[in-house]
C-alpha cells in the first residue's frame, strides 16, 4: 500500500453536480461562464440541489422558502454575543452553524424531504448568521432579514443596516454564483466524509466550514487582502513579490491542484475588480493585483485562482477582510448541501487506508523500566 500525498489525482466519488474537464468548470453541465453572466445565485442553488434550472414558479417558491427561513433563533444570537470579540470569524461561524442544529426539530430526520428542507434552511440562515456576527463584533445590534429580496441584497442590507446599491448587489450575486460548487474540493470532501457515516447535514456543513477556514483553501482570499495591505503601493509590488519568490514563500491566491492553466472563475472576478475600481475612480487595488498576477505568472508559471481577485472585489464593496471566507461559505453551502444530498442517495462509508510508515516489532516494557 503506497499513499498518494494529498490524494492528488485520486477519483474518490462519482458525482453529477459539477465537473472540471480540461480546465472547464460546469455545474450540472452548464458552463460557469454562461451561469456567471446570466444566472442569479438562487437559480444556481436550485440547479445544484435539484439538477435543473427552476421554472418561474419553482424559483419564486424557492425565494419564498429562503425568505421564510432567513431568521435565526434568538438563542443563537445570544450565544454569538457571548463569543470573544476578537475570535476568528470562521471559528465563530463554525460554532454558530453547529448551534443552529440544536434548535432545528428536524436536525436528525434523515428523509430526503427533510434534508432538502434543511439544505434550504442552512442556505437561508448562513448569511443572517454572518451579518449578525459582523455587527456584534462592531458592538451593533444584528439587523433582521428583509423579505422578498435576493440573498446578495439581504446580506449587504443586514451587514450595513441600509439598502445596498444595485451595483454592489449584482457584483456580490455574481461572486456567489462563481463560488457555489467546485467538484471534490477539500471542504466538500470533508462534508461528504462526515455524512457518509450517516451523520446529519449540520455535522456535514460544520465539518466543511472547518475545512474551508484554512489558508490553503477558502482562507486564501483573506490572506490575499492581508498581502495587498502589506504591499501598500504599486511601487512595492515587485520587491515584495520577488522577495517572497526567492524565499520560496507561497503567494496566496495562486496555484491550484486541478487547474494548471488558469482558474476559469478568476477572469470574471478580475473584470469585476476592474469595473468596481473604475466606478469608484480608484483602481489602485486592481492595478496592484494585476501587477502581482503578471509577476507570479511570468516568474513562477502560476495563475491566480478564485480567491485572488475576490479579495479586491470584496474590499471595493466595503467588506472587511474578516468576512471574505465567511462570504465564500454563504455561496459554497449550496454546493456542500447538494453533495450531502447526493452522498445520502447512494451512500457508502468513506474509509480509505493508510500506508504505515511507523516503527514495527516493538515490545511492551513496563513503565518503571522505561528510560
Residues identified as active-site = 256, 307
Distance CA 262, CA 255 (A): 8
Q: Where are the alpha helices (DSSP H) in 39-111?
A: 41-50, 56-68, 74-81, 89-102
Identity of the residue, 163 or 257, whose beta carbon is nearer to ligand ACO in the bound complex? 257
Identity of the residue, 94 or 332, whose beta carbon is nearer to ligand ACO in the bound complex? 332
Cell numbers 470574471 correspond to 268
- Applying CB under 6 A, which residues contact ligand ACO? 6, 185, 216-218, 220, 250-257, 300, 302, 305-307
- The phi and psi torsions of 26 (rounded to 5 degrees) equal -130, 145
CB of 221 to ligand ACO, least distance (A): 8
CB of 308 to ligand ACO, least distance (A): 7
| Helix H or strand E segment including 16 | none
CB of 115 to ligand ACO, least distance (A): 25
Identity of the residue, 95 or 185, whose beta carbon is nearer to ligand ACO in the bound complex? 185
Identity of the residue, 25 or 252, whose beta carbon is nearer to ligand ACO in the bound complex? 252
Cell numbers 444530498 correspond to 341
Of 41, 352, 24, 77, which is closest to residue 172 (Cα–Cα)? 41
357 to 10, 256, 364: CA distances (angstroms) = 20, 28, 19
Query: What cell was used for 205?
Result: 456543513
Asked if 127 and 144 touch (Cβ cutoff 8 Å), the reply is no
Query: What cell was used for 33?
Result: 461562464
Q: Count CA atoms closer than 13 A to 185's CA, side-chain side.
A: 28
Identity of the residue, 21 or 365, whose beta carbon is nearer to ligand ACO in the bound complex? 21
Q: Give the nearest residue (CB) to ligand ACO.
A: 255
Identity of the residue, 128 or 305, whose beta carbon is nearer to ligand ACO in the bound complex? 305
Find all residues with CB under 8 Å of 117, minimum gap 6, and list them.
Answer: 106
Cell numbers 435543473 correspond to 52
Distance CA 312, CA 77 (A): 30
Find all residues with CB under 8 Å of 64, minimum gap 6, and list them.
Answer: none
CB of 262 to ligand ACO, least distance (A): 12
CB of 20 to ligand ACO, least distance (A): 12
CB of 70 to ligand ACO, least distance (A): 26
Amino acid at each position: 500500500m503506497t499513499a498518494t500525498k494529498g490524494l492528488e489525482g485520486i477519483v474518490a466519488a462519482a458525482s453529477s453536480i459539477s465537473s472540471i474537464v480540461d480546465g472547464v468548470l460546469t455545474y450540472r453541465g452548464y458552463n460557469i461562464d454562461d451561469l456567471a453572466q446570466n444566472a442569479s445565485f438562487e437559480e444556481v442553488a436550485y440547479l445544484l440541489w435539484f439538477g435543473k434550472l427552476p421554472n418561474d414558479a419553482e424559483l419564486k417558491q424557492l425565494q419564498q422558502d429562503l425568505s421564510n427561513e432567513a431568521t435565526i433563533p434568538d438563542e443563537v444570537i445570544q450565544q454569538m454575543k457571548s463569543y470573544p470579540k476578537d475570535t476568528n470569524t470562521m471559528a465563530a461561524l463554525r460554532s454558530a452553524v453547529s448551534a443552529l442544529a440544536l434548535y432545528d426539530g428536524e436536525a436528525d430526520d434523515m428523509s430526503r424531504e427533510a434534508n432538502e428542507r434543511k439544505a434550504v434552511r442552512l442556505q437561508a440562515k448562513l448569511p443572517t448568521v454572518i451579518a449578525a456576527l459582523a455587527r456584534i463584533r462592531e458592538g451593533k445590534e444584528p439587523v433582521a432579514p428583509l423579505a422578498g429580496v435576493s440573498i446578495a441584497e439581504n446580506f449587504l442590507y443586514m451587514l450595513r443596516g441600509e439598502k445596498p446599491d444595485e451595483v454592489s448587489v449584482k457584483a456580490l450575486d455574481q461572486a456567489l454564483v462563481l463560488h457555489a460548487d467546485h467538484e471534490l474540493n477539500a471542504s466538500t470532501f470533508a462534508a461528504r466524509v462526515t455524512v457518509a457515516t450517516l451523520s446529519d447535514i449540520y455535522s456535514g456543513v460544520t465539518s466543511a466550514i472547518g475545512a474551508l477556514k484554512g489558508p490553503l483553501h477558502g482562507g486564501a482570499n483573506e490572506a490575499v487582502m492581508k498581502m495587498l495591505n502589506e504591499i501598500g503601493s504599486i511601487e512595492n509590488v515587485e520587491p515584495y513579490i520577488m522577495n517572497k519568490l526567492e524565499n520560496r514563500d507561497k503567494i496566496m491566491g495562486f496555484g491550484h491542484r486541478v487547474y494548471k492553466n488558469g482558474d476559469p472563475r478568476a477572469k470574471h472576478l478580475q473584470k469585476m475588480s476592474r469595473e468596481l475600481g473604475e466606478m469608484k475612480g480608484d483602481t489602485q487595488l486592481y492595478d496592484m493585483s494585476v501587477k502581482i498576477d503578471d509577476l507570479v505568472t511570468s516568474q513562477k508559471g502560476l495563475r491566480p485562482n478564485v480567491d485572488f481577485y475576490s479579495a479586491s472585489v470584496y474590499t471595493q464593496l466595503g467588506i472587511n477582510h474578516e468576512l471574505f471566507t465567511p462570504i465564500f461559505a454563504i455561496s459554497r453551502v449550496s454546493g456542500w448541501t447538494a453533495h450531502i444530498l447526493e452522498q445520502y442517495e447512494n451512500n457508502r462509508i468513506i474509509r480509505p487506508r493508510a500506508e504505515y510508515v511507523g516503527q514495527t516489532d516493538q515490545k511492551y516494557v513496563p513503565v518503571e523500566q522505561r528510560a
